[in-house]
Amino acid sequence: MRRLLWIVAGLLTASALCVVLVTVLAFDSVTLWLMRPTDSFSPAALPSAPNYSLAANWSALPGQVHTADVALPALPAADPAAARADVFYVHPTSYVGSKWNGPIDDATLNADTDRVATRLQASAFNGCCAVYAPRYRQVNGMFFTHPSSDGERAADIAYHDVAEAFRYYLATYNRGRPFFIAAHSQGTVMAQRLLREEITGKPTRTRLIAAYLIGGPVYKDIAARELPDIPVCDTPEQPGCLISWNARAPKYHPGTFEFRVSGAPATGALVCVNPLTWSQDEAKAEAAQNEGALFWEERAPQIRPGFADAQCQDGTLVITHLEKPPRDFMSRLLDRALGPGNYHPIEYQIFFVSLRKNAELRLAAFLRRQAATQ
């Protein structure tokens, strides 16, 4: 009997190891299977729409305690009541579930959004600006890897919320101040549409300092056609322009989770603005030019100068030198799903100080030009 038990235990252990091995080898497929919506898109099944007069429906709102307030002695947060400008920030995908649109009243989801998006990214702007970051019924991430008509309808819902939040922000909070648009990943897709439908060619365009559309598919040809008065930035102080980059290793091969946005060209150059030179040229910026990465998820966050170099090559921000970023277990799972050399999750953090200082520089230049014309 004892021997039989050992044999059974061995078989069970071998079976468990096989399951683990298959899961690791087919991790992309398993992840996609777990996150795919279980039903067709249905308006009747949508989560409740956000009411932006309620502070709970903002991940960051001046006057409320929020994660975009985090600061270090060397990088203090400005008093939002005294800020000369705002940033309207659209967060990336934080919803991983089986519905087409994520809810905005799920406490766990909201905490995840605040911790892994608003804190890590929107905080880059708290030195210059009052930060506004709406919650929205984000579309399931499957839409960006496997576009579909259901996904299009769900993406329209997500965008509807972002646009409503922006209109509410302008009508209630902005009071005529200049502003930045900032976004990442899914947020960048929503923010580019926001520029097209709510800003370009409209009076609000004159108050746009810059748009940081990071970690998303911003195509040069589409941007030039749809945003004719919002050029791609080519200098550190240029006003009213847009910035984008997608960071990868030199030998990165696109994987399962690359963006495949419906309506985008099969081929075409992506916008790449180097966050160490703020230029579109393909000259390499050495790591010594990087003023500092910052990872708020560390137990003792610190500025890390020289963390990464950067070079635009054929629309991709290629990083040859990268120090080891801090990654917890869930972050490592995400890295595994995205594939080696895909730096999408840390595209803000590795250039955090340069991004922060550029926003301050662009605001100062914008205010000088504004004063000169009055």
User: Which helix (H) or strand (E) is 265 found in, with range?
Assistant: none
Quote the pLDDT of residue 334. Answer: 75
Mean pLDDT for the stretch of residues 285-296: 98
> Which residue bears the tokens 């009076």?
203
In angstroms, the CA 20 to CA 95 distance is 25
Residue 184 in tokens: 């990442």
Residue pair 290/278 in contact by the 8 Å Cβ criterion: no
Quote the pLDDT of residue 201. Answer: 97
- For 314-371, how does the pLDDT look when each residue is reduced to its tens digit (9 = 90+)? 999 999 999 999 877 777 777 777 778 999 999 999 999 999 999 999 999 999 999 9
Mean pLDDT for the stretch of residues 103-114: 97
Does residue 27 carry a pLDDT above 70? no
- Which residue, 80, 350, 362, is CA-closest to 243? 362
- The answer to whether residue 31 sits within a structural domain is no
- The answer to whether residue 189 sits within a structural domain is yes
Confidence band of 23 (pLDDT split at 50, 70, 90): very low
Quote the pLDDT of residue 262. Answer: 52
- Using DSSP, state whether 140 is helix, strand or coil: coil
Average pLDDT, the chain: 89
Does residue 53 carry a pLDDT above 90? yes
Residue 211 in tokens: 């748009």
Mean pLDDT for the stretch of residues 109-138: 97
Confidence band of 31 (pLDDT split at 50, 70, 90): low
Does residue 18 carry a pLDDT above 50? no
Cα separation values, 192 from 61, 156, 268, Å: 22, 13, 17
Quote the pLDDT of residue 14. Answer: 44
Residue pair 287/353 in contact by the 8 Å Cβ criterion: no
Dihedral sign for Cα atoms in the order 134, 136, 142, 144: negative
- Which residue, 202, 193, 203, 133, is CA-closest to 163? 193
Does residue 8 carry a pLDDT above 60? no
- Which residue, 248, 172, 255, 188, is CA-closest to 222? 188
Burial of 43 (0-12, 13-18, 19+ CB in 10 A): exposed
In angstroms, the CA 193 to CA 269 distance is 18
- The answer to whether residue 236 sits within a structural domain is yes
- Which residue, 329, 328, 319, is CA-closest to 351? 319
Number of domains observed in the structure of the chain: 1
- The answer to whether residue 225 sits within a structural domain is yes
- The answer to whether residue 275 sits within a structural domain is yes
Quote the pLDDT of residue 339. Answer: 78
Quote the pLDDT of residue 266. Answer: 52
Quote the pLDDT of residue 254. Answer: 78
Angle at which helices 329-338 and 27-35 cross, to 10°: 100
- Which residue, 208, 314, 213, is CA-closest to 270? 314
Quote the pLDDT of residue 374. Answer: 77
Mean pLDDT lowest among 142-146, 155-159, 265-269: 265-269
Quote the pLDDT of residue 202. Answer: 97
Mean pLDDT for the stretch of residues 287-313: 97
| Residue ranges making up the domain that contains 191 | 44-372
Confidence band of 6 (pLDDT split at 50, 70, 90): very low
Confidence band of 145 (pLDDT split at 50, 70, 90): confident
Quote the pLDDT of residue 44. Answer: 93
Quote the pLDDT of residue 20. Answer: 37
Quote the pLDDT of residue 349. Answer: 98
Confidence band of 1 (pLDDT split at 50, 70, 90): very low
- For residue 256, the 8-state DSSP code is T
For the chain, the residue count is 374
Output Rg (C-alpha) for the chain, integer angstroms. 22
Strand partners, 134: 58
Residue pair 134/57 in contact by the 8 Å Cβ criterion: yes
Mean pLDDT for the stretch of residues 6-34: 44
Alpha helical stretches, state H, the chain: 2-25, 27-35, 107-113, 142-145, 149-169, 186-194, 220-226, 329-338, 352-372
- The answer to whether residue 9 sits within a structural domain is no
In angstroms, the CA 24 to CA 21 distance is 5
Residue pair 122/182 in contact by the 8 Å Cβ criterion: yes
Quote the pLDDT of residue 337. Answer: 72
- The answer to whether residue 81 sits within a structural domain is yes
> Which residue bears the tokens 């429906």?
57
Quote the pLDDT of residue 108. Answer: 97
* Cα Dmax for the chain: 93
Torsion of CA 333, 98, 186, 71, to 10 degrees: -60
- Using DSSP, state whether 207 is helix, strand or coil: helix
Does residue 30 carry a pLDDT above 60? no
Mean pLDDT for the stretch of residues 1-22: 38
- The answer to whether residue 91 sits within a structural domain is yes
- For 223-233, how does the pLDDT look when each residue is reduced to its tens digit (9 = 90+)? 999 999 999 99
Cα separation values, 137 from 48, 50, 121, 215, Å: 9, 8, 19, 20
Confidence band of 264 (pLDDT split at 50, 70, 90): low
Q: Name the strands in the sheet holding 247-248, side by side, starting at the edge strand that comes first in the sequence.
A: 247-248, 316-318, 311-313
- Which DSSP string corresponds to 282-317? -PPBPGGG---B--TTSSS---BTT-B-BEEETTEE
